[in-house]
Each structure stands twice: as C-alpha cells, then as structure tokens.
Structure 1
Amino acid sequence: MAMPHLGLEIPAFGASAALSAVALGATRIELNALGSYGEGGLTPSHEDLKQFTSTADQRPPLRIMIRPRGPPRSSIASEANGPSQRDFLYSDEEFKEMEASIKEFTNIQLLSADRGDGFVFGVLKEGGHGEGEECARRRRCQVDKERCVRLVRAAQPLKCVFHRAFDEIISCDNATSNGIARRVWETGLEAVADCGFDGILTSGGLGKAVDNMGTLEQIIKKARTLRIEIIIGGGLRTANIERITQQLGLKTQPDSVYLHSACLHGDGSEQINPEEVQGIVALLK
C-alpha cells in the first residue's frame, strides 16, 4: 500500500484557473473571485462554482472563500492617521453579506460534505489594549466567536476553515508575551476549535511561513490535540518547500497538515505556473 503524502491546496481565481490547478495535480482547491488576488481573495460568483463543478467530473475537494472585501486601504499606521486599521473586522452589513453568501452557495446544492467541500472565512473583533510598542500602534484582536459560530452553523454539514485572519491574532504575541502570560495564538486556536472550525490557514504569523517556523511548529502540535487541520500558506514555493516540510517534520503527519500555494508566475497576474505546481507535487510525494 502506498504511503499517504502531503496534499497541495491551490487558491484559484475564477473557474478557469481552478480547472487548470486540478489538471496540474492540486489535491484541493480554494475558489476565489476572478481578479481578487490583489485583495487577498474574495467571494467568487455562483457562475464560477457552477462552471467548475460541471466541468471537473473527478474533482478534488473545493473550499469557497467567503470574504466581502479586501483589507482597509489605510492599513499602515502613522502619526497623522493614528492606529492602523486591522483587516477582518466587519460591519453588520458585511457580516450579513457573508452569512447570506454561505446560505446561497449551500442552496445551490453543488457542494458535497462527503467529498470534503466547504468554506474559508474568518471574523475578528478588537479585544482591548495590550502592552508594548506594537499594541500601542494596533489594538489587540481575537476571534469573534459569536459571529463565527453563526457562519459555521450556516455552513453545516460542510467543512469550515478559519483563514489567515489567524495571523493577525498571532501578531499580538510579540507585544503581550512576557514569559508568564499565555500566548495569544494558543487562546485563539482554542477559540477557533470551540467555534467548530475544521482547519486553520496560517503562515504562523504575519509574513511568510518560512520566517515563522518556530511558531508553526508549536501551532501544529497544539492543533493536533484539538483535531484541527493546519493549512500552511504564505510564500510556499518549490525553492523552500523541502526546507519547510523537513524542518517541521510534515511528511510524518500528512493527515493533520496541508500545504497551500497559489503557484503563480509572480508577474502580478493570476495565471498559475505549471512548473511550480508540478514541482511542488513531485517534492511532496
């Protein structure tokens, strides 16, 4: 019997890109709106879902991004504009839009719980001031459990992944950890589990995964006890995939970890680079 190997999830922008990713060897697809790469991925259209599911007969699991907008434009703090605005904090109207999108996608009845289909989303709320320079610049944040539970319930029985909003929570650790206080990512991880999420997409903090290996190692270990899949994303390429898998010992635990890479050409377009996909797939086997 062949040993299981790590899976590769590709975030695709539009149905055409999703179909290309499947043909190249992706074992899971995150479907985003066409043209939304620069926004970090937004909710796709119903037409994209219909086109993908009608064309890809033997398709892998599909996860649909639920995100009504990209990050706030004034995301960098300065003395002139005060504290920076954090992403993933949504108004009542935006939250209602997210909830409605999930219900609409489930009502189309093109997603299958047995196949492993589901949604990707995350909602934060501000949680008071911490100590230190970073929290003086940006307020602490935490999982908005009330809203997340509502979205998870709306998605049942489909899978739910808490996306890289989790990295915003981790970013508060630098300011609040004093060697005694509990790490905020650990509290956040337990909150995500309490909401009923099946997985978390994370880079182990802001920036690239390869720069956050120590934190990722701790997160993976804790998540395994909570039965939460960790999906590692953020700058994964053929040039660093072996270092990441070896340093974190991922090939010994393929059932609890997944890898996430857009595999784009790097020219600002949303076109998938076949060499990147095939190269990563080969290295994961």
Structure 2
Amino acid sequence: MAQVCSSGIEMLEVCVETVDGIAAAVSGGADRIELCSALALGGITPPHALIRQAALAPIAVHLLARPRDGNFRYAAGEAALVAEDIRDAAQAGLDGVVIGASDASGALDATLLSAWVAHARAEGEKRRRPLSLTLHRAFDLCPDLLDAMETAIALGFDRILTSGGQPRAVDALDTLSALVARAKNRIIILPGSGVDAANVSAILATGAREVHASCRSAAGGASEAEQRFGFQNGPAMHTDVAKVSALCTQLRRHETLNSTNI
C-alpha cells in the first residue's frame, strides 16, 4: 500500500476521472481522492462502474455529485439525481460526497442543500458510518464568501472546496486566509484550483491544512480522425503520479518545518 503524504496535519486530495487516475493518486501518495468525470468541465458525477472501482482504493474516496456542467441551479429532477448519487456513494462504501447548489441570486441554496445533507446523514446511519460532506465550488460564485461559509457551517458541512472566489487559489491568498481565520476550526477550508508543488507553500501559509489538486499532465494529442469525429477536443490529460508525489513532498516538508518550529 502506498504511504500517504501526511500524518493527519496536512492532507492532499487529488481529483481523478479514470481508473488510471485512481492508481496514480494512490501511488503518488495522495491522502484522499475526489472522484468525478469530465474534469475539463469542472467535473460531473462519474459512472457507476468507476464508483465501484474507486471503492477498492486503499485511501478515502469522496464522490462529486454534479449532474451536469454549467451553473449550480437545479430543478427538481436534477436535485433528485444528486440525492441518488449520495445514496450510491453510501451504498458503494465511499467515504464522502461533494455537493453544492446556488439560488437565483448566486448565494447558496440553503433549502436544497439542507435536504441533501439530511439525506446524506440518513444514508450514513443506514450503513453505520457517516458520509463526510464537502461543499464544492458553487461556494466561489457566492456574493459574500464569509456569509456563505457561515451558511455551510450551519448546514453541517465538514469542509469547503474553494479557490477563494478567484479562478486560481493562489490568486486569492488574502481571502483564503480570512476564511481560515473566521472558520476557527468549525469547518475545514480546502483550497483548490491550480494548486501545485510550486505554489502550495504559499497556499498553506493561509493556515489551510488540506489542499486539492488535479496533478494532471498532457498525455498526447488526439489523432486527426478522433478530432474530426468529435471524440476528443485537444490533448488528452492524465493524473501524473510524479506531480502527485512532488506535491506530497512539499506537504511533508511544510509539515516537518511546522513541527520543528513548535
């Protein structure tokens, strides 16, 4: 079994969309996987077969429950799909789910999220093991991030995946610092988007102790026929075990320095 990159102080979550991605995240030393498909679209719910395969991984796996790309305002039918995804994650033996929803103003849809959280808790009780709950980057579209964080805390989320309201987390260090400071250990702030070995030290300086990254590299271009038929658009991407390992090395280094300075 691969050694995880931290001893509980700092953690790396890697988002993956393939069986090979699961293996690369584990081999590189990730602590947790966010399982999805279509990362090029920000991630949507993966197929059942991939969920079952991910359940065999030796590290924690959280399922992204997002029924489509685009905005996070969901009609009743789409909301029901997310509820089914939550049930599927629990029944497959996964460790958590990643969910989010917006209302017409761009703020969190607290009513819908409350229903999903209650559903997740009920599914956890059925299997006698709770589902960890992550609020995804619908949070970053909220007009007031500090207010949205308080809503997430009141709803019972365990963590918030956020880039601090900017496309890349490294461009929102002040906001991330403010979120971590206001959270006061009531909820975990999980910075993500554009996180890599070169900038993770700056991101950890915000006080965050978990980070989220894709650790992807180009796997080669599509053939002319594949592009002509629309089977692929641009180069294929894959989870790069070397990037996972490099990020873990930086996390270990940061954790060692913190331990030495205590």
Give the TM-score normalised by structure 1: 0.74
Instruction: Give the Cα separation in 1 of the matches to 2:183 and 2:174.
Output: 14
The structure-2 alpha-carbon separation of the partners of 1:151 and 1:4, relative to structure 1 and needing over 3 Å to count, comes to: closer
- 1:203/1:232 contact within 8 Å kept: yes
Verify the 8 A CA contact 1:5 1:284 in the aligned structure 2.
Answer: no
Deviation of the 1:272 alpha carbon:
1.3
Aligned to 1:235: 194
For the residues of structure 2 that align with 1:152 and 1:161, how far apart are their CA atoms? 10
The answer on 1:282 being equivalent to 2:242 is: no
1:123-164 deviations in Å (ceiling 9; x for gaps): 11023xxxxxxxxxxxxx211111101111111221110001
The partner residue of 2:108 within 118, 140, 143 is 143
Gaps of 5+ in 1: 72-86, 112-116, 128-140, 173-183, 251-256
Deviation at 1:31, TM superposition (A): 0.5
Aligned to 2:238: 271
- Does 1:105 pair with 2:89? yes
Q: Runs of 4+ in structure 1 displaced over 3 angstroms?
A: 2-5
TM-score normalised by length of structure 2? 0.80
Quote the offset at 1:249 in angstroms.
4.3
C-alpha separation in 2, matches of 1:249 and 1:51: 34
1:7 maps to what in 2? Answer: 11
Question: Residue type matched to 1:69 in 2?
Answer: R
Counting aligned pairs with the same residue, the percent is 30
Distance in 1 (alpha carbons) for counterparts of 2:17 and 2:167: 21
More helix by share: 2
Q: Is 1:152 the equivalent of 2:117?
A: yes
Structure 2 CA distance for partners of 1:213 and 1:266, relative to 1, 3 Å: farther
> Which runs of 5 or more structure 2 residues have no equivalent in the other structure?
1-5, 122-129, 220-234, 253-262
Q: Which amino acid aligns with 1:125?
A: D
Residue by residue, what CA displacement relative to the aligned partner does 1:37-95 show, whole Å, maximum 9, x if unpaired? 111111112211212223x3xx1111000000011xxxxxxxxxxxxxxx211122111
**SS of corresponding position for 1:143:** coil
Q: CA RMSD in A?
A: 1.8
* Letter of the structure 2 residue corresponding to residue 150 of structure 1: A
Shift of 1:274: 2.2
2-side partners of 1:17 and 1:207: how far apart? 23
Question: In structure 2, do the counterparts of structure 1 residues 207 and 147 end up closer, same or farther at CA, with 3 Å as the change threshold?
Answer: same
Partner of 1:47: 49
Q: Which amino acid aligns with 2:113?
A: C
SS in structure 1 of the partner of residue 194 of structure 2: coil
SS at match of 2:193: coil
Matched residue, 2:35? 31
Q: What CA distance in whole angstroms lies between the structure 1 residues aligned with 2:207 and 2:120?
A: 32
CA contact (8 A) 1:237 1:280 kept: yes
CA distance in 2 between counterparts of 1:220 and 1:27 reads 21
Equivalenced residue count is 224
Query: Aligned AA for 2:87?
Result: K
Give the 5 Å matches for 1:114-125: 117-125=95-103
Q: Distance in 1 between matches of 2:217 and 2:241?
A: 9
* Cα distance in structure 1, aligned partners of 2:218 and 2:73: 29
Moved more, 8-17 or 263-272: 263-272
CA distance in 2, matches of 1:4, 1:147: 32
Distance 1:107 1:242, change over 3 A: closer
Q: Is the 8 A contact 1:238 1:280 kept in 2?
A: yes
